[in-house]
Amino acid sequence: PDPATAAAIVARCARVRPEIAGARVLGHLVGLRPARAGGVRIEAVTLPDGGRLVHNYGHGGAGVTVAWGCADAATELATAMP
């Protein structure tokens, strides 16, 4: 974690919600967003009990960019009749 980046994030958030300006930061976590070599996986799988599992992962750094479209596609898969 970069302390300057963390402070900048808190400062930007405090402009929206001033009450957090003095909040104590309990910790920092950083990491990479997982991606897949084959691209995003959006797929429905039927489980042995007849339920449906919808996979929606592997967005990497594009997660925010493609979130709405992927969420729509996953919703269609989750609600589609078998």
Please indicate, yes or no, whether the overall pTM of this predicted structure exceeds 0.75: no
**What letters, b where the CB count within 10 A reaches 16 and e where it falls short, cover 46-68?**
eeeeeeeebebebbeeeeeeeee
Return the domain boundaries, the chain: 1-31, 32-82
Predicted confidence (pLDDT) per residue in 27-67, tens digit: 888 877 778 888 889 999 999 999 999 999 888 887 778 88
Predicted confidence (pLDDT) per residue in 66-79, tens digit: 888 999 999 999 99
State the virtual CA torsion across 72, 73, 79, 82 in degrees, nearest 10: 170
Phi, psi of 44, rounded to the nearest 5 degrees:
-100, 140
